[in-house]
Structure 1
């Protein structure tokens, strides 16, 4: 069996699972976000299966942007008190985007199942966790009975080889996959191979998060020493690093040569089959540049942006907005001086939130505006007005574009 099949088999108590099987498996972690507590959508829960397996994270509209979001937070706080939910990330020091929190705090444990009411939960797959977003009925099942059901999909294996060139990142690798192979509807994605050693956990999380944009069920990485050591430092919970069997079955095995990757841009309104070399979009004037979200709000992403803008200024008429993925990342970036560098260049650095990525607050686009974003989605109306045009690229490309006032290649900033 491959990795996802082995995790689902273990969780369901089955000796073997195959594509098209339906399984009911034990949920290791159920993550509830602030939107789930909206009074208009909330359904009263009378019991929970295990409070220690529930995580609550306020992330979408944080701090509260209006009376409705404040009411959602109040419902969530009452729920946490009622059932003694200790892993509660309210507005404050331990707040952040739920998918980042799941990895910052090692809630997404290797070899286990994690569910979340938000589609980008698949980011937990960077940690060898079978993580995915599910609908609210399935979330209620996970919370009250501690289980969830899944249809086993076929798996595409990506064998990573080589090393990324300077200035090229995991976001560019994703854009290559999306542009070359298109959607992975109802399929799983498995990453492994010798090239994985050159990708840090943040880079892997970018690739795992973006699996949602390929319509994949699960996106998962093989475990390695880097991951296992990280989890051991941050969690005392038992976990099960899971590798594929030598004879594991795949729909297809594809090789990605990381050394051949180049900076890419996804054109507005689509991610799949929309990638072009940055040179083909170069020169498009922009109004806003955004770096953040669960895909690209890591310390690595903020560091590369600060490196590019250091000693330079964003020109008038361009807004550069940077949103760390968690308050822990915010503090680390501040301690390293990155936030000061960004602010001096003219960037606005926000607290950790889904904010601009979802078109919720702190960076909403107006009519006919053009944005280049290092976030999760670029479809029409995602970040604000439906007439706005949203290009997607890596943090390096976004930072270079912010300085130029138009889409620009980041390569010159990485020349020796």
Structure 2
């Protein structure tokens, strides 16, 4: 027991608080909150567990060893100081005593001795010790109830070692703050990975038919990501890292929203390209360059739009792409309409001219000339329209 003098220096080698005022504050009462249980293991125990002629337990043996002596002499103070520290700093105390593990001869080569060759009492005591550790040792936690992991313990150890190397006194508060930054950064990364994992799986459902469907996928992934963060994070003061996560998730949501929209646009254009193939071919072949062609063109366009609206799997950009497609066809539609009106008017005039030939028999030369001019004018209009249409078609192809 007298060899445990290092416990008397604990308050000088480590601090609970990091504030400057803590240098003048007695923190000894705080250590009991953070220190583990004290387990005293005495090996090669040859004494009898007796006190005043009565058998005592191992714990009673330790309790007796921790008793303080009365008096104020230097020798008494030196005797009492480590015991006072052990009683004051550690919230519980346990003792185990172990007999010698083997005979003197076997101790010379103990590493190679099989377990069945060890002393039965030693094996029994060892199993008792292990059982106590496994069943009674609480999970290591930090202030705030955060459960320490092996990785986190390693980070804390590094911060302690770095503090000692730099000549400063390790602060438990600073170590927790540093660990919180490390663990919370990891929590953000893990949460983002979870979001990415779920959204990549959801890409198989792109393009979604509605924006609401996409938002539901994002909401589900966002919720799972937040659960991961909340599970792994601790001491996130002012929700600094949680806000960082929310910002990152918002950015990644935009990325997947663009993917969803782009897939919708590609799908819609593919559907329109397939459905409009016959209409485009009709325009190229001059199918609508005849009287009544505009009406026929509009009927086929309406049929195309109806078929497009019935097609599934177009996604959130269905109407927008359709509007863009119809706008692109406005020039063609206008050209067909103008040509159709011109052709119908020329044909009407030609019919009126033919029906009035008898009335104009006194002027055969004028009638013949007028008729010929009308025919040529009509043919010219048709030729001009076809030329205009051909130029537009070449431009579209180019």
Structure of greater relative contact order (alpha carbons < 8 Å, 6+ residues apart): 1
Higher helix share: 2
Which category describes the TM-score, using the shorter chain as reference length?
Answer: under 0.3
Higher strand share: 1
How high is the TM-score relative to the length of structure 1?
0.19
